[in-house]
Homo-oligomer: A and B are copies of this chain.
């Protein structure tokens, strides 16, 4: 028996979800919440296996709610159930600790399967979301930097000093400085740390 909590402000949707889950063999909807505050508090006392969570809620944002719930109960699986298929929100939700992301139009059969999947260590997502997530790993191949500059930037991201980079690449420290100047200009940054931050965030290395 998989126990489920629902966080959803729309009364109709919340009730019909609860009804569906309770009516299905192997599932039990233990409690429902209309906002994040009560969910964070309620789940503390009445823990469930899976949480279905809307994130377009009034009051505390769903993202913050996910963060707080996962903070106290890391083993719990949270599936986001929402109308937003916006890039930013998907990644924020996953970073906050959601393990799955479905749009509300998901057919009930798939929704039940997703709950099962989440509880068994999976990460239920729509195919579009999955591609977005996987795509976020791919490097941006900016032809902006030359290959030598990329090598230097790479070393920089390992925390090396000019001197050490020079030794690694068998060039003088001065040449490292030359490359760095060029890199800074192209990336529009003014310090090592900014360059490293940009390189890692934009997956240049």
Contacts and interface: CB of A to CB of B under 8 A. Distances in A.
Interface of A: 71, 91, 94-95, 97-100, 117, 120-125, 127-128, 130-131, 133-135, 137-139, 141, 156-159, 161, 189-198, 200-201, 203
5 contacts: A94-B138, A121-B127, A124-B130, A130-B130, A196-B200
Contacts of A189: 159
A166 to B, nearest CB: 15
Contacts of A100: 134
Nearest to A122: B127
A127 to B, nearest CB: 3
B117 A123 contact: no
Given A139-B95, A157-B197, A191-B192, A117 B125 contact: no
